[in-house]
Amino acid sequence: MRFQRITVNPNQTGGVPCLRGLRIPVATVVGMVADRMSEEEILKSFPDLEPEDIREALQYAAEAVRERELPLVTAP
């Protein structure tokens, strides 16, 4: 999958993935979704974002999780 809205710049925000060159990290947007914020609330908090930015941030996060193992607690 090729991401059109995710950018990485080593001289900006420590090189973490951001949206469209803005200083808005993908992780921030994904965290807002996880906190059950609506798309409208997220866009109000970050007026420079577009609805497609939120969708691509979630797609990027899903792909990132597929690419590595994360330590999880084993269910009893």
Number of domains in the chain: 1
Are the CB atoms for 59 and 2 separated by under 8 Å?
no
pTM for the full predicted model: 0.85
Say if 59 falls within a structural domain.
yes
Residue 2: its pLDDT value, please?
Answer: 83
Say if 37 falls within a structural domain.
yes
Q: Read off the CATH number of the domain in which 10 is found.
A: 1.10.10.10
Say if 76 falls within a structural domain.
no
Q: Which domain holds residue 50?
A: 6-64
pLDDT at residue 1 tops 80 = no
Say if 60 falls within a structural domain.
yes
pLDDT at residue 69 tops 70 = no
Residue 36: its pLDDT value, please?
Answer: 98
Say if 28 falls within a structural domain.
yes
pLDDT at residue 75 tops 60 = no
Find all residues with CB under 8 Å of 13, minimum gap 6, and list them. Answer: 23, 25
pLDDT tens readout for residues 33-50 = 999 999 999 999 999 999
Say if 69 falls within a structural domain.
no
